[in-house]
Structure formats: C-alpha cells, structure tokens
Amino acid sequence: MLTPLQLVRRSTGLLVGLGAFACALTLLYLASSSVMGIGGSCGSGGPYVIATPCPTGIAWIVPVSIFGGIVALGVYAASVLPVGPRLTWLAWPALFLSLGYAFLDSSLGPETGVDWSFMVCAVLFILMGGVPLLFLANRDTFRRVFWGTAPPAVPGSLRPGEVRWTTTVELPGDRDRNRDRVRNRPLAPVTPEPAGGSGLVSELERLAALHRAGQLDDAEYSAAKKRLLNGSH
C-alpha cells in the first residue's frame, strides 16, 4: 500500500525517467545517423590530421546519451508502481531497433546504392531488437509488460483478472449481542429416546460448539447445559 505522497513521488519518477530515456534514445539515434551519413567513422582532436571531422557536439552527445539513458532507465525502474505496465523490458528492443533502422537508412543511398557493411549491421541490430519482442506473443508476458502482474486468482471470479474481496467486520458490542441472542434463544424441546437420547446428544454438541467458538463463556455454557439436562427429565 502506498501513501499519497509515495504515489506522487513514484508517478513523478515514472514520468521523468520515461521522458529522459526517450530523449536520450532520440539523441543517440540522431548522433548515430549523422556519423553514418559521413561514412560511419570520424575523429576530432589529437595531433594528427583528421580526414573526416566529427559533426559538432558528437563527442559529448554520444556518451551523455548512453549514460543518461542508463540513469533514466534506473529512475523509471525504481519508481514502478505496484500495479501498471513494466516498460523497462522494452528498453533493449527500443535501443537496437532504433539503431538498426539508422543502419538500414544509411545503407540505402540514392547515389551509392546499397552499402552492404551498413546493411549487415542493420540486419544484426534488427534481429537483436526484434527477437525479444516475440516473447510478447505469450499472453501472460504481454499482460505483465503492459498491465503489470495479475492479482491472485479468486475462486468464483467472472473474468480473468477480476478480483473480489470478502471481509468481516466485528463492531463493538457485536459479540455481546450474539451472546445475548444465544442466551435468550429458547432451547428446542428434547424428546427422550430409549436408545440413549440422540436429540439430547445433538443439543449438547451444539452447545459445546458454541462454547468452543467463543459465543458462550464458561458460565453461560454451564447454565445452558444445566437447563438442557433439567428440561430433558
């Protein structure tokens, strides 16, 4: 059970973590696409002459997007609510499918034709991101990712996932009223039987059961048993 303050904190963490991860993934995709657009490799700094300089900002955008995405994913995972989706499992497919599309887009140039080095990387990355999504074909896995863990099954529920709670509340004075009801309840007439009196035995067993259940204390049980035995003769 969450307090209202915990609910607000976790909801904020979910929003911030998911939004930051989406931003980091977008930056990594754009940075990768820009590097692939100039041949797939570049350099900056150092004492040597650089044949292909990197686009402005790539040197810090790539590491910041990678480590920032990991931190954002951790914030999201730590803020997950007891019920609801678990989108952390989709981070791997999202990363590799987005980079796979970047490789695929860069491999199909209108002037140079197909760049098979990029095409091979595109196929590998798409497989690495797409194969895990096949597990969503399982109904339980799909529900666990997008709706959270299903509650325990309750006998008599109408539909899967529907839960019914049954509770009993004893208000102050209920036990006293139950005792008064039992105390004032007229005892059924007992007809003596020559074979040992099964009616008397059943009434005694009923009183003993009420005594064990706590609806009759020791004094009430003794008094009721005496009345029963005296009335049976």
Q: Please list the rounded mean pLDDT of every run of 10 residues in the chain (233 residues).
A: 82 93 93 84 67 79 92 93 86 93 84 81 94 90 79 51 46 56 53 52 84 82 82 53
pLDDT at 25: 94
What integer pLDDT is reported at residue 68 of this predicted model? 94
pLDDT for position 167:
41
CA distance 68 to 66: 5
Partner residues linked to 114 by β-bridges: 108
pLDDT at 148: 74
Measure the CA–CA gap between 66 and 79, rounded to whole angstroms: 20
**What's the confidence (pLDDT) of residue 42?**
75
CA dist 130 and 133 (Å) reads 5
Task: Give me the pLDDT at residue 174, please.
Answer: 53
